Amino acid sequence: MNIFPQKRPFNPATYAPGINDAEPFYGLPATIEFCSRCTISNQRPNSTVEFQNSAKAKKQTINFDDAGICDACRVTEQKHHQINWEDRREELIILCDKYRRTDGRYDCIVPGSGGKDSAFASHVLKAEFGMHPLTVTWAPHIYTDWGWKNFQAWIHSGLDNYLITPNGRATRLLARLALETMFHPFQPFIIGQRNVSPRLALQYDVPLVFYGENQAEYGNPIATNASALQDQAFFMSQKKPEEMMLGGTEVGRLIRDFGLELADLALYLPIKPEAFENKSVDVHYLGYYLKWHPQGAYYYAAEHCGFEAAPERSAGTFSKYSSIDDKMDDLHYYTTFIKFGIGRATYESCQDLRAGDIDREEAIALVKRFDGEFPDRFIDELLNYLSIPEDHFPIASRQFEQPVIDPEYFNDLTNTFRSPHLWAYNKDQWSLKNEVFK
Ligand SMILES: [Zn+2]
């Protein structure tokens, strides 16, 4: 039986500063490069089909072309200079005309948290395009006070909403396992959020789902941006439930060794293709039809949906209005910094840079100042959430030498996910070998 150990020593020699031929973890590119237009590095992984994801999975990463420019910047170029947005708006009108209902039923589903992007999407579809959206929300791991307030304000702006909250005990265990196996505690949220809209679309017979921006705007393969449709692999699978992976662990094993039942995981499992027989659900990106501008969405949401920025900047970055509803976001971006050398300020500065709101010099300064900042503000609550004490998890806790996470345990675990091609260890200090400002 595979017990998660308490102590995980690392070998400092592997991380000695002079070593330059260290084998990368996660199948990342061995040579680190930065895009010549933004601040992203070639270490950025593409979106993954999470219910197949495991500790051994090799990452597909963002493509850089011969000119050293990343796919996300190439998509931006198309967005600003090639796409005819008037034509795209016409396409959206045609799509809405096809699906719009006047019989009192919903005609589209808009998933979201009530953050700036989902507020913008749902409101604009209703107010400008005459649609009747049902909004659906996959609950965050731990709401921030301002996230909950924004969620309420969004619904009160005039939209129906289903808030889906998965089994909290199962979710905590999945988050812990995803942390241990992949250093990816945000995974349960990603899986749930992708499943929930198609599932509700089937249940309520609503044939159209709108997501916000296409992930290609952030660096997924350019080809995925040419289509308005979302890849069904993210929410549909033919496999048996027992063969799925959740938290980097086979579902069969979650049932055998961790005290869960299949029903505890029902909301996390992908949808069977048969469920779509004789039914059609079209999943589209609104960002394909309307030119997405993050700051513009913020102003729109503030004006029409009562959206308010957080009272403080988020950990590891400079912003106050992007992804602010889940306390787990702080930890999520810290884990990407450890695994890929890419923290929240890198992701967000790239977004603002590509939108034309800041230049590369400013973006680099923001990365230098904020990237990789330890998420102090909620860390106690987060480690408590990720702990699975014996009294609450009598079976699952046996799989861990130390079920309750303290800062020392978290620090040891963190170090095991530092790829030696990215990190150097010298005089008790960790540092990245390559940074965009060096
Ligand atoms: Zn770029």
Q: In angstroms, what is the span from residue 74 Cα to ligand 1's centroid?
A: 7
Q: In angstroms, what is the span from residue 68 Cα to ligand 1's centroid?
A: 8
Q: In angstroms, what is the span from residue 104 Cα to ligand 1's centroid?
A: 45
R_g of the chain computed on alpha carbons: 22
Q: In angstroms, what is the span from residue 71 Cα to ligand 1's centroid?
A: 7
Q: In angstroms, what is the span from residue 127 Cα to ligand 1's centroid?
A: 34
pLDDT for 237: 81
pLDDT for 260: 97
Q: In angstroms, what is the span from residue 310 Cα to ligand 1's centroid?
A: 28
pLDDT for 326: 97
- What is the model's pTM? 0.94
Q: In angstroms, what is the span from residue 287 Cα to ligand 1's centroid?
A: 19
Six-digit token string for 61: 């990463």
The tokens 């503000």 sit on which residue?
377
- Cβ contact 311:338 at 8 Å: no
pLDDT for 190: 92
Taking the C-alpha atoms of residue 71 and residue 220, their distance in angstroms, rounded to an integer, is 7
Q: In angstroms, what is the span from residue 188 Cα to ligand 1's centroid?
A: 29
Q: In angstroms, what is the span from residue 348 Cα to ligand 1's centroid?
A: 12
Question: SS3 string of the chain?
Answer: CCCECCCCCCCHHHHCCCCCCCCCHHHCCCCCCECCCCCCECCCECCCCHHHCCCCCCCCECCECCCCCEHHHHHHHHHHHHCCHHHHHHHHHHHHHHHCCCCCCCCEEEECCCCHHHHHHHHHHHHCCCCCEEEEEECCCCECHHHHHHHHHHHHCCCEEEEECCCHHHHHHHHHHHHHHHCCCCHHHHHHHHHHHHHHHHHCCCCEEEECCCHHHHCCCHHHHCCCECCHHHCECCCCHHHCEECCEEHHHHHHHCCCCHHHHHHHCCECHHHHCCCCCEEEEHHHHCCCCHHHHHHHHHHHHCCCCCCCCCCCCCCCCCCCCECHHHHHHHHHHHHHCCCHHHHHHHHHHHCCCCCHHHHHHHHHHHCCCCCHHHHHHHHHHCCCCCCCCCCHHHHECCCCCCHHHHHHHHHHCCCCCCEEEECCEEEECCCCCC
pLDDT for 232: 73
pLDDT for 281: 82
pLDDT for 39: 96
**Which of these, 285, 370, 384, 273, lies nearest to 327 by C-alpha position?**
384
Q: In angstroms, what is the span from residue 315 Cα to ligand 1's centroid?
A: 23
Q: In angstroms, what is the span from residue 35 Cα to ligand 1's centroid?
A: 5
pLDDT for 353: 96
Q: In angstroms, what is the span from residue 346 Cα to ligand 1's centroid?
A: 11
Q: In angstroms, what is the span from residue 354 Cα to ligand 1's centroid?
A: 8
Q: In angstroms, what is the span from residue 170 Cα to ligand 1's centroid?
A: 38
Which segments in the chain show pLDDT lower than 70? Answer: 1-2, 215-216, 218-231
Q: In angstroms, what is the span from residue 356 Cα to ligand 1's centroid?
A: 13
Q: In angstroms, what is the span from residue 72 Cα to ligand 1's centroid?
A: 6
Q: In angstroms, what is the span from residue 60 Cα to ligand 1's centroid?
A: 17
